[in-house]
Amino acid sequence: MSTVLRTTWPLLLGILLLMVGNGMQGTLLGIRGKIEGIHTEQMSVVMASYFGGFLLGSRTVPGMIQKVGHVRVFAALGSVISSLLILYAVAPDWRIWSLERLMIGFCFSGVYITAESWLNASATNETRGQALSAYMIVQMLGIIGAQLLMNTADPAGYLLFVIPSVLVSFAFLPILLSTQPAPQFATIQRMSFATLFRVSPLGCIGIFLMGGVFSAIFGMASVWGSAKGLSVGQISAFVAAIYVGGLVLQYPIGWLSDHSDRRMIVLGLAVLGFAACGITLAVKPGIWGLLATAAIIGGVANPVYSLLLAYTNDFLEAKDMAAASAGLLFINGVGAMTGPLITGKLMSMMGPDGFWAYIGALLLLLALYAGWRRTRRPTPAQDQNFAVIAPSATPIAVEAALETAGSDDPARPAG
């Protein structure tokens, strides 16, 4: 690991600062929207726009990189992000915020693609797994650290918009000044959605549902906290608890995944998440109970995403895994766009409880579908090891993670 940190620290430091900036803007907008009197449904459009932009970026930025190169794309997108983060405070209007979030989602998608391809190229076959693990840990630590910074100034002021802008600007220095040469970029081949669904119906449906869960968590947690009347400190602690849960449970669940039927683990985690949402709705716990629920939901959402990718790849030849994963990431993005919109509608109808009702409903659907799929075909040979993959990862990181997790005897297709 020391070798990995020595060779990739500029990239990891840059990603850490980027995630702090991204984590701050998501939480801050939810709180500031309440202060500005923006309706919950309008804020749901703002939050959904990020995922729309992210999905658009994942489809178009690779072509931009091939035309003008990593460095130019990276610098251009970074400057746009830094500018937009400040402009939020200039015009607190939900329509303008939606456009800005769309652009920021597009830019962050491109930045992640560029950074992840650089990281992948800088690692050797022996160190790639460690580099990707460090990358995922740094991502989560960045968002957790962002919540601490949320308590350094008044969200009704200007400073909390300046801090992420400055951090994002600094984030590009270690990356752009790195001596590591820009890698050659190759576009990942696509697999048709019909073929992908035939390979793994559970993978497709599950990834779609988890896209909605993840976007509700990442996009609407601060909106929910503001509607609930929580303080800034409580909201930031709630968001941080989600990612702490994901960070802590990702690896033990990954170990279990390589020794058990993945569908049973998906089912069990979905039931656990559904139960946590149901208890929260019924009991109306205080802040400590809410933090526990947040940690459980985060601990469910992140590993289930990785489990579904690994489960789908159990039915594929090694040469088809990258194309299938790119398709699953697109399905995840479509699900993510719907998450904040439906959550906002439910919160308008039910109040803050709509947040838990939506997440719980999706997890219940996943549990029921996973249980039904277990009756449709036998457990596949699990030759594809579990790979730790964040729901916000781009196809570049997913492909590298799958290469690292893959075995010499790739999984055979299902009959």
Please report how the helices 201-228 and 353-373 are oriented relative to each other, as an axis angle in degrees rounded to 10: 170
pLDDT of residue 78: 85
Contact 21, 171 (CB under 8 A): yes
pLDDT of residue 183: 59
Domains and CATH numbers, the chain: 2-179+191-405 (1.20.1250.20)
Phi-psi category of residue 230: left, alpha or beta, with phi > 0 → left and psi -120 to 50 → alpha: beta
pLDDT of residue 415: 30
Q: What is the pTM of this model?
A: 0.85
pLDDT of residue 28: 93
Residue-wise pLDDT for 187-222, tens only, equals 566 677 888 888 889 989 999 999 999 899 888 999
Q: Which residues of the chain have pLDDT under 50?
A: 407-415
Phi, psi of 67 (to 5 degrees): -80, -45
Give the whole-angstrom CA distance, residue 143 versus residue 133. 16
DSSP notation for 271-318: HHHHHHHHHHHHH---HHHHHHHHHHHHHHHHHHHHHHHHHHHTTS-G
pLDDT of residue 96: 95
pLDDT of residue 228: 92
